[in-house]
Chains A and B, each alone.
Chain A
């Protein structure tokens, strides 16, 4: 029998509306599930059980009074890089270990307004810098499909929580793949919106020209429901787009599947270094799409090889500037020293972990006198070339199908001492952040019992078309119905 914690958001909405279940019953079921598996998965930095139950009782009272908000009574996990008023938010760092935000991020406020119950804050690589969640200052998270492997990162806590059914949906953030890569490794759905589609207000900043919050869930419909909730213009974020938000779930319910859809297949992504099992899963996905009415077109994205270096120059430069705020003055850790000057050096030495220091160093170098033109400005020009690659591609096709990652989840500890190898696991995801376009990862098969993710990219503000393609694929396959046995 299906347990309540196994429900999709869509199913739970129906049962809550019909009165078959209460928000308290659903929340208790999820909290019990966390109690059963969390010691092995370790997806959360903190779980707010009491606050969640209070919110569940309030949700039941609201429903009794006639409220039918879209997420009323649905337990959702929030990445600990997103501010939650009154609830500690660490971003996986010792420097923010005791930080309690005085305000909500806009996406948090939108979740609450829609009636969602925030069940806990999920683990992340420190300041979202990593691809495995091993750079969390607190503990690693384990992949529910194989506890000896990483869940991906940096939203590895959110991805593992969804895969282990410790929440019905989650929010993540994606600067270079941090929603899609862990979604791929954990066999769930994760969507990075167009830059500016959702507000960055209250996200702990990493690379400000790249960061976006987005939904993570167990079905494409659930991702659409969450996206509709968090998207939209926000006067607190000057880069948020003032464009109407489509009713994504309603669009999916009346969508026409793959019929007539033009799918681009980037030959540059099917090269050496791609795991043959991953390639086979993506080729099989293309066959499914073609069989169901899509047209396949080979395309070229000629600047693919420049993506990783351009991304790591731009993101670290922006991060080195953003993280200058951690100075031990207004919030966060302070290590007392004899002078203010020494306080800065001691606080930052003690508060930041190795990967964050490495990226601050790299970014500071890329911005420093004599190197700015050669590295940062050059990378921004290459970013233009990458954007133009995609603009040209989307003149020929509606969406692009690609692997999310070149390989399946790797072993804990395997790449932690080799930063460049860690960076290369983002090779297919950073492109969407550099170009500002939306991308979704969804389950598309398995290699040795480990999930393989299909990535679908669309043009700017093309969330509707990537959701349509993802929904069509999900309806034609049953990969999304498989659940891990947590050993």
Chain B
């Protein structure tokens, strides 16, 4: 396949919430294109009527009793947070 364009790489980075430096964008254009070229081997295989594998060991309807358990305390849940207030995670406004 042809090389990924700069705009394509920038769009993927936007979807992935990654800020890239200009040199990273250029490097990923090369490297991701080379990896996707290699992946052509998969795309050439005939998979007509082959179901996808989502889990190697198929399981159906895993259930457990709906019972109350003690979870983490609020203090434990907040202990690793970068910023907290009033027993909550504090973040910048989402809406401007």
A residues sitting closer than 8 Å to B (CB atoms) are 98-100, 102-103, 194-196, 209-210, 235, 238-239, 241, 303, 305-306, 308-310, 312-313, 320, 324, 327-334, 337-341, 343-346, 348-349, 352, 354, 357-358, 360-362, 364-365, 368, 374-375, 377-385, 387, 419-420, 423, 433-437, 460
Contacts and interface: CB of A to CB of B under 8 A. Distances in A.
B83 to A, nearest CB: 7
B80 A332 contact: yes
A240 B80 CA distance: 28
A91 B60 CA distance: 31
Given A102-B76, A377-B52, A378-B43, A309 B57 contact: no
Given A328-B82, A333-B82, A358-B32, A382 B55 contact: no
A384 B19 contact: no
A384 B52 contact: yes
B83 A334 contact: yes
Nearest to B13: A361
Given A329-B89, A343-B91, A309 B42 contact: yes
Interface residues of B, number: 49
Given A195-B55, A340-B91, A343-B91, 7 more contacts: A194-B57, A320-B16, A343-B92, A352-B18, A360-B18, A374-B43, A433-B56
A195 B58 CA distance: 10
B94 interface: yes
B50 A331 contact: no
Given A239-B55, A348-B18, A352-B18, A365 B81 contact: no
Interface of B: 9, 12-13, 15-20, 24, 28, 31-32, 34-36, 38-43, 45, 47, 50-57, 59, 62, 64, 72, 76-77, 79-83, 89, 91-94, 96
Of all A-B residue pairs in the complex, the 5 with the closest CB atoms, nearest first, are A436-B56, A380-B52, A334-B82, A331-B80, A381-B47
Contact of B19 (A103, A346, A419, A434): A346
A384 B51 contact: yes
Contacts of A210: 56
